Homo-oligomer: A and B are copies of this chain.
Amino acid sequence: MKTKTKIPFEERPKGSTCVMWRYSQNPVIGRYHIPTSNSIFNSAVVPFEDGFAGVFRCDNKAVQMNIFAGFSKDGINWEINHDPIQMVPGNTEMIESAYKYDPRVTFIEDRFWVTWCNGYHGPTIGIAYTFDFKTFHQCENAFLPFNRNGVLFPEKINGKYAMLSRPSDNGHTPFGDIYISYSPDMKFWGEHRCVMKVTPFEKSAWQCTKIGAGSVPIKTTEGWLEFYHGVINTCNGFRYSMGAVLLDLENPAKVLHRTQPYLLAPAELYELTGDVPNVIFPCAALSDGEKIAVYYGAADTVVGMAFGYQQEIIDFIKKNSM
């Protein structure tokens, strides 16, 4: 999300030639950041007022998954509410929600929209809006189960809301491609199109098992810049890494360029160990048009940040596109 607020940033480490790099103070949010939490990860951040607001996935010590609002002046030091978001009805009566996880947040026109993985007889995409991060209005689920990683575009496209998502199964889905769907009203969804699929193993193995949208797409002159995760199924489990893709501005079902190499893969101890080892899972990106800060869940346990220059990233995607 492009913002006028000064976004959190740290320069590229000396000697590094990587197009993106980790924050030296990672993890920015620890697993016990609030009293009840077992882990805080896969969370979303947006500019809000003179700072930032976020919606955080905090699993409590019963390992119940829920989403919590939080606030920060600088995007790095966060105060997260100790109680999960309590929804009020939005465009429908209240929808069941056995659990909530992996939120994304975007501002469209006059309000903030939150999407998340909502437990309704299995995972699907929950939707809510808020003006103030205090009152959240829960709307109809976008889709039938089973779906995960629903991410809204930050503006209407051809007059309709647009959402990326990944059709899933009801377990640890061992497959998954990214689709786009449209809605005239945030209630009824259709015009579903396949956007991008997993890659052949020999072409780009880190994203050969499943992929899913990560951050809210950033509008650039070269297309929608989307950070996504890709998964390889090793003999010892899934490994989640981060790549990026440029989607056509007019028709975002059309992929312009997509990273063959990853941008970030698990390598630090807080990414290699934790409740689910070897996970980098981006859920938000801030951009001021020049610099970019990505928030990602690490090892399903903590929140990390990574930085880069927007133009360098775009150049990298184009140069390393499949």
A: which residues have CB within 8 A of B? Answer: 17, 31, 35-36, 38, 59-65, 92, 98-99, 119-122, 124, 140-147, 165, 167, 169-170, 172, 175, 177, 179, 181-185, 187-192, 194, 197, 201-206, 232-239, 260-262, 265-267, 269, 272-278, 300, 320
Counting every copy of the chain, the complex holds: 6
Contacts of A177 on B, CB cut-off 8 Å?
121
CB of A264 to closest CB in B, whole Å: 10
A235 touches B122 (CB 8 A): no
CB of A18 to closest CB in B, whole Å: 9
* Chain B, residue nearest A36 (CB): B261
* Chain B, residue nearest A17 (CB): B35
A144 touches B121 (CB 8 A): no
Q: A62-B260, A144-B165 are in contact. List 14 more A-B contacts (CB 8 A).
A: A38-B262, A61-B262, A64-B203, A121-B177, A121-B194, A121-B197, A144-B144, A146-B169, A172-B234, A172-B235, A184-B188, A236-B238, A272-B274, A272-B277
Assuming A63-B232, A175-B170, is B187 touching A190 (CB within 8 A)?
A: yes
Assuming A167-B122, A300-B234, is B204 touching A64 (CB within 8 A)?
A: yes
B192 touches A144 (CB 8 A): yes
A260 to B64, CA, bound (A): 10
Query: Per a CB cutoff under 8 Å, which of B35, B188, B204 touches A189?
Result: B188
Listed residue (A177, A260, A277) with the most chain B CB atoms within 10 angstroms of its CB: A277
A140 to B188, CA, bound (A): 13
Assuming A144-B192, A236-B237, A276-B236, is B205 touching A63 (CB within 8 A)?
A: yes
CB of A305 to closest CB in B, whole Å: 20
A33 to B272, CA, bound (A): 19
Contacts of A167 on B, CB cut-off 8 Å?
122, 144-146
CB of A75 to closest CB in B, whole Å: 26
CB of A208 to closest CB in B, whole Å: 8
B65 touches A205 (CB 8 A): yes
The 10 closest A-B pairs by CB, nearest first: A236-B237, A188-B188, A61-B261, A63-B205, A188-B190, A172-B235, A98-B202, A272-B273, A63-B206, A62-B261
